Amino acid sequence: MNAEHLHTASGTSMAGPLLITPRVFGDDRGFFFESWNQRAFAAALEADGQPVADFVQDNHSRSSCGVLRGLHYQLPPHPQGKLVRCVLGEILDVAVDIRRGSASFGQWVGARLSAANHQQLWVPAGFAHGFLTLSEHAEVLYKTTDFWSRDCERAIRWDDPQVAIAWPQGQAAPAPATPLLSDKDAVAPLLADLTDQDLFR
């Protein structure tokens, strides 16, 4: 397993999120790989100076082309770290730094996760998370370090101009100019409108 930092739009490496690339064994019968190994993942986090993650729940979503989910996060006392992978199709998976005082506050990193590349994105607590479906359909699995909490759940706008995520169009099927959003995501606040109580410190 290889774990590496991603770079922001300005080209700087962002501390926290990690792109995980597993070792895949393939032949004419198919392939095999360890999609998660607790010891290997813990070693990658420790090598990066991050606390070891204890996962409590696995989630599975299916989305059509052009569906955008996010940008979501949870505040303490129930912050969520997420380990995300795409097992059908392709997505752009994004993490936004919402740690007040961080050198990369308000900046984003992203990776194309797909059933073909088997890569995963580790999104630690302190980051908002979202993804856009680029293929005709996509199925996304992600582990979380805490349970969903209505009181702790927050979101920021997918098209926040301060964050300025470069969302692409779909490849396998044409994505709409405006992504398909939930009612809640469509009215999420801008980062600049959030209070200190809505951010990580």
Count CA atoms closer than 13 A to 121's CA, side-chain side.
Answer: 24
Distance CA 128, CA 144 (A): 13
Spatial CB neighbours of 86, under 8 Å, sequence gap ≥ 6: 93, 113, 114, 115, 138, 139, 140, 141
Token digits for 46? 């420790």
Q: State the catalytic residues.
A: 72, 142
Distance CA 28, CA 33 (A): 15
Distance CA 13, CA 6 (A): 6
Distance CA 115, CA 188 (A): 30
Using alpha carbons, list the distances in angstroms from residue 105 to 8, 185, 192.
11, 21, 11
Distance CA 39, CA 193 (A): 40
Distance CA 102, CA 88 (A): 34
